[in-house]
Structure 1
Amino acid sequence: MAQNIFKRPLTGVVTSFLLISFLAACGNVRFTASSSTDGTGTTSGTGGNNPGDDGNIAGNDGGGRDDGDDGAIPGGGGTPGSTPTPTPPPSGPRTVDYNLTVPAHKNQVDFLLVIDNSASMIAVQQKMAQSMTALAARMNELQIDWQMCLTVTTDMNKGGTATGTGTHNCRGGYCTGAYSGGSWHWGVSLPWSNNQTVLTKAALASNGQIFNNTIPLLGAGDSGTGDERGVKAAYNHFANWKSSGANNTTGCYRQGSSVAVILLSDEDERSVAGNCSRVNTALGDKEIPACRNYNDGSIRVLEFQDMPSNLVSQANSVFGDTARFTFNSIISESEACTKQLNENASFIKDGVPYYSPHYTGTVYAEASRLTNGKVASLCSQDLQLNLFSDVVVNKLDKLSLECEPVAGSLKVDIGGAPTNSFSVSGAVVTFNPALSQGQVVHLNYKCSQ
């Protein structure tokens, strides 16, 4: 958290983290146009200096930072400065009935790399750059047709005037830092070091240092980057692409490709996921700004676009039927890992020693669970690459549902015959054996809301 770093004399050497890089486990993801986030916001409005938006481009119209996010597609607008209040869910479960003829699938993957740009991420970002180069090389060996776009866990200003004494960093016309005027945007695609916003296999082949050259340019610890929201960033990146490639997202996703988010963060969504009891005061952290807003002390709650289940619904509505989606987390995955990271939480920013606690990524782990994605630990002592070992062209082994079904409610027919040859984990159903091209599958299940 750049806004939540406390100067403390360094007594030891800054410890580098060995980072796991990986690819998502593949499989088809169930999307349907009937899935929508309209009108079901968990909260509306946020207080004070809390970055937000009012929902107009699936929750991202470049409004003021004080506008709340209500999750609408399009939305009606949050109330600046208001206290977040829950929106009641619809009463009772709803039934989902779905038929699919298994199509032919491409060995084609579109990645969204979401990187935490707070100050404590300096060492981790460096490891990420090295790991992504190795990961891309392995994808090429497997002959996967991949491309990658890049965003950060905070909103960015366009057209404003820099203010304050903090660091300001600009890429592709969008800036982090303290600004007056201009507009604020979530889910902005930032250019790679070759000034292209979509990294392709061909571009990496011509310049093998793109990851190493790009990631340091993102900025770590720029003023205003202390409210990390990786789920919200992905939510809005999808929406921007759907809205005619807004905020540099043109070309990020291709028809028929699977979509894999890789999230890198050493904290949780909004640092502590709205739970102030998690703030590590013993390490010098403070509730403001770790979990509360500066202006009025109100809690930085998880809003609609911070919720993993709403990210799944957003992907459903944006990418359409039979696309594949996984959310993959490179995080502190356990309290034991968080404790280990906090033993070496010192870092250098612009020649100044800082110390900032880390937090377990519970919300990110839940997003990975719901989508059958992978969770890698920042505490791993070796570099591991989880690649597409289970990719099966013209087969369907996994299908993402609109929700995590009510226990015992999922019924499956294949070719008109009931089957029990499947398992359910979160919002993903896995078929064993995998379905072949041309087979017809029918699903019936209940969502809790």
Structure 2
Amino acid sequence: MKASILNLALSCVVATLGTACAKMNFAPVPVEDKASIVEPPPSKTISSTEVVAYGNKQVDFLLVLDDSNSMLPELKKLAARMSTFVNSLDASNIDWQMCITTTRGVSSGGTLVFGNPLTWANYVPAAGTPAYLLKKGTANLNTIFTSTIDTLTIGGANSGDERAIKATHDNFKNSSSHACYRAGAAISVIAISDEDERSVGGDPKNVKAKDADGAYQPFEAEDYPQTMVDRAKATFGDDVRFTFSSIIVKPDDKVCEGEQDVDLSPSHFGHTYAEASRLTDGGVGSICDADYSANLNTFKDKIVNSLSSLTLQCEAKPKSLKVKVGGLDVSGLKLDGKVLKFTYPLIEGTQIDLQYDCED
């Protein structure tokens, strides 16, 4: 093509010695229609730097106890075992505090109120600390736990309608009226019950022959695990580190169910509580275990693990993820949705550099 144009140009130069060149039009070489080319959308790449805050080893506990008739033997076990668990927390570097409530609604002004923190018995808190807030470093933990559970009213009005999910939801919702939670702390709920939410899990098919009249009660919005999770985020922020752990009759554990059904009030599988634990990466223990300390220590491990994660801005493409901790490349980390999980506790002040592409 270039040679032809050059020859034509030369011929024109020669022609100018005689006659003029005719005017020539050159059509451009056709190219593919640009409108027909579909460019792939650019990936959204996120680059960020996180510094682990100094509040990350704070853990605020809410202990939710089923105080219905059938629970007396289990609560006696708990009184003996819980102090061992808390003593182990005290020996760790976790800065903990704890509130306690029950699964029943308490009548107030003609309505039932759920989730209000109870006062700890035989507890003399430091000046400025409310009597419902047990804190790290408290002496005589065994006495406090035993005497507090001994003072609970077991059975009676409204106790047969167990609502640990609603109690947790309402405790979060009303957090401005109490001091159970600190800004930036991890929140760990431990619920203990030999039945399910609203006794039979909101399903009339789960009612047993020995159940009291009216054992079935339909779920309200606050009885669903997802509503509780949404409430936690609405109250404490989307990045709240929250686990709901449960000691229950595990779903389909018929041996445990049989042991619990010996009591006057029958037990029920804790399907709803197990689902709440699954949603929040909490632990599930068996209420039939002779020693709850093993369950509680598992929950402690879950709490530590909850301090070993970061919430990303989007679900990342795994192959695009690049992570540096303290300037060093780290690989083999676990992605769970938007949550990046480390295999060790994050240390305060550590810098974490992240780069990743969002999933389409």
TM-score (normalizing by structure 1): 0.58
Return the alpha-carbon distance in structure 1 between the equivalents of residues 115 and 313 of structure 2: 23
The match for 2:136 is: 201
Distance 2:283 2:301 in 1: 13
Structure-to-structure mapping, 1:2-401, within 5 angstroms: 101-106=50-55, 107-158=57-108, 181=110, 183-194=111-122, 196-202=131-137, 204-206=138-140, 208-241=142-175, 244-245=176-177, 250-281=178-209, 284-285=210-211, 288-292=213-217, 300-301=218-219, 303-320=220-237, 322-336=239-253, 338-347=254-263, 355-383=264-292, 384=294, 385-386=296-297, 388-389=300-301, 397-399=308-310
Tell me the CA shift for residue 265 of structure 1: 0.5
Greater helix content = 2
- Aligned partner of residue 84 in structure 2, secondary structure: helix
SS at match of 1:380: coil
Q: Secondary structure at the match of 1:277?
A: helix
**Residue in 1 that maps onto 2:27:** none
Q: What's 2:37 paired with?
A: none
Which amino acid in structure 2 is aligned with residue 145 of structure 1?
D
Report SS of the residue matched to 2:139.
helix
Deviates more, 1:205-214 or 1:380-389: 380-389
**Counterpart residue number, 2:11:** none
The separation in 2 between residues aligned to 1:238 and 1:425, in whole angstroms, is: 25
SS in 1 for 2:231: helix
Shift in CA distance, 396/198, structure 1 to aligned 2, threshold 3 Å:
closer
Q: How far apart, CA to CA, are the structure 2 residues paired with 1:402 and 1:189?
A: 35
Name stretches of at least 5 consecutive residues in structure 2 with no aligned partner.
Answer: 1-45, 124-130
Q: Which amino acid aligns with 1:342?
A: G
- The structure showing larger relative contact order (alpha-carbon pairs under 8 Å, at least 6 residues apart) is 1
Structure 1 residues 412, 432: closer, same or farther in 2, change over 3 A?
farther
DSSP-derived class of the 1:212 partner: helix
- SS state at 1:379 partner: coil
Deviations 1:401-442, CA, capped at 9 Å, x for gaps = 899x8x989985647xx9984435588542357767222447
Classify the secondary structure of the residue corresponding to 2:174: helix
Question: In the superposition, relative to structure 1, how do residues 214 and 396 fare at CA in structure 2: closer, same or farther (>3 Å)?
Answer: closer
Per the TM alignment, residue 400 of structure 1 is displaced from its structure 2 partner at its CA by: 6.0
Name the CA distance, whole Å, in 1 between partners of 2:192 and 2:54: 28
SS of equivalent residue, structure 2 residue 342: strand
Structure 1 residues 370 and 409, CA gap change in structure 2 (3 angstroms) = farther
Alpha-carbon distance in structure 1 between the residues aligned to 2:198 and 2:117: 20
Question: Once the two structures are aligned, what percentage of the paired residues are identical?
Answer: 37
Deviations 1:56-115 (A, max 9, x none): xxxxxxxxxxxxxxxxxxxxxxxxxxxxxxxxxxxxxxxxx9977242244221100001
1:262 CA displacement: 0.5
Pick closer, same or farther for the CA change 1:263–1:419 going to 2, 3 Å. same
- The residue identity in structure 2 corresponding to 1:240 is N
Give the match for residue 439 of structure 1.
Answer: 352
Distance 1:313 1:199, change over 3 A: same
Which amino acid in 1 is paired with 2:284?
A: V
Aligned-pair distance for 1:326? 0.8
How far the C-alpha of 1:280 sits from its partner, in A, is 2.1
Count of matched residue pairs:
301
Equivalent residues of 1:422, 1:431 under 8 A apart: yes
Q: 1:118 is matched by which residue type in structure 2?
A: S
Structure 1 residue identity aligned to 2:342: F
Return the offset for 1:273: 1.5
Q: Is the 8 A contact 1:269 1:364 kept in 2?
A: yes
TM superposition shift of 1:239? 1.1
Counterpart secondary structure, 2:121: coil
Write out per-residue CA displacement over residues 15-34 of structure 1, whole angstroms, 9 at most, x where no aligned residue. Answer: xxxxxxxxxxxxxxxxxxxx
User: Structure 1 residues 435 and 154, CA, compared in 2 at 3 Å: closer, same or farther?
Assistant: same
CA shift in 2, pair 1:410/1:278, >3 Å: farther
Structure 1: state its 5+ residue gaps. Answer: 1-96, 160-180, 293-299, 348-354
Report the alpha carbon displacement of residue 380 of structure 1 after superposing the two structures with TM: 2.1
- 1:313-345 C-alpha deviation (Å, 9 max, x unpaired): 211121236542111101111322x44343453
- CA-to-aligned-CA distance 1:146-200 (integer Å, 9 cap, x gap): 11101111221235xxxxxxxxxxxxxxxxxxxxx4x431211111114711112
3-state SS of 2:77 partner? helix
* TM-score normalised according to structure 2 size: 0.71
CA distance in 1 between counterparts of 2:68 and 2:47 reads 42
Contact 1:424 1:430 in 2 (8 A): yes
1:257-281 superposed Cα distances (whole Å, 9 cap, x missing partner): 2110000010111122211112223
